[in-house]
């Protein structure tokens, strides 16, 4: 069954989650933060994900913006940073995350090839709209699908159900792309064709399923989608 629909995770897949900390570290007067920003960025992302998983398991859903703030607060405390102005700046920058360089052309090529394109993300609708607007890719995405419509974070199967509900697709028609190995694996278990964008060269997660493909970036997604 040929691929008709390409669906992307947002944070870390289309949008660079380290960009907020990197940009803040380059600003004047942030010498202390400049020394530790990679650790803060890594801790922030890890806690953001961990809190989403824990809330999903515990049935204690909240919006992703609260989870994002909770993760940042932990990360700043872990690095001994207590500047409220820095916290506010990092949160503001998170609404303006830059897309990875290959994203605009990749999405444009998919649309030119007649594919449906969408984001499927833990992010709230407002967060996703902000990121898409900042990156200037709204005209090459057919929809922004958020877990807020089902009230549970990935990798719950009800999140992946949103794709078929929106596009009327069989799972085998969908190419799902994520920078999170666990997300790509769970989506493969759901029945999607999946790609893990493994920019950091990490090992495969030990789960019951594995991603169908692994790529170092998003550049060749259109060619892969056309070949399946």
Catalogue the active-site residues. 9
Q: In angstroms, rounded to a whole number, what is the distance separating the alpha carbons of residues 172 and 1?
A: 6
Q: In angstroms, rounded to a whole number, what is the distance separating the alpha carbons of residues 49 and 178?
A: 14
My answer on whether omega of the bond before 155 falls inside 30° of 0, hence cis, is yes
Q: In angstroms, rounded to a whole number, what is the distance separating the alpha carbons of residues 12 and 9?
A: 8
Phi-psi region of 133 (alpha: psi -120 to 50; beta: other; left: phi over 0): alpha
Q: In angstroms, rounded to a whole number, what is the distance separating the alpha carbons of residues 221 and 218?
A: 6
Q: Give every strand in the sheet of 143-146, ordered side by side.
A: 143-146, 116-121, 5-8, 174-178, 193-197, 213-215
- Cα→Cα distances 23→30, 63, 73, Å: 10, 25, 18
């Amino acid at each position: 069954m040929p691929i008709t629909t390409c669906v992307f995770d947002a944070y870390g897949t289309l949008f660079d989650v380290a960009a907020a900390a990197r940009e803040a570290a380059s600003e004047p007067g942030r010498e202390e933060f400049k020394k530790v920003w990679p650790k803060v960025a890594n801790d922030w992302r890890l806690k953001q994900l961990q809190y989403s998983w824990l809330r999903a398991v515990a049935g204690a859903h909240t919006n992703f913006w609260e989870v994002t703030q909770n993760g940042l607060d932990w990360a700043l405390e872990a690095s001994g940073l207590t500047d409220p102005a820095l916290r506010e700046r990092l949160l503001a920058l998170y609404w303006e995350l830059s897309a990875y360089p290959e994203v605009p052309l990749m999405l444009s090529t998919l649309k030119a090839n007649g594919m449906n394109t969408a984001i499927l993300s833990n992010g709230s609708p407002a967060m996703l709209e902000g990121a898409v607007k900042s990156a200037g890719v709204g005209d090459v995405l057919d929809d922004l699908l958020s877990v807020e419509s089902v009230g549970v974070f990935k990798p719950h199967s009800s999140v992946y159900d949103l794709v078929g509900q929106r596009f009327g697709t069989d799972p085998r028609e969908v190419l799902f792309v994520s920078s999170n190995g666990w997300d790509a694996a769970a989506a493969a278990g759901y029945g999607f064709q999946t790609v893990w964008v493994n920019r950091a060269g990490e090992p495969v997660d030990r789960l019951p399923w594995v991603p169908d493909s692994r790529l170092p970036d998003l550049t060749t997604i259109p060619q892969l989608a056309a070949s399946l």
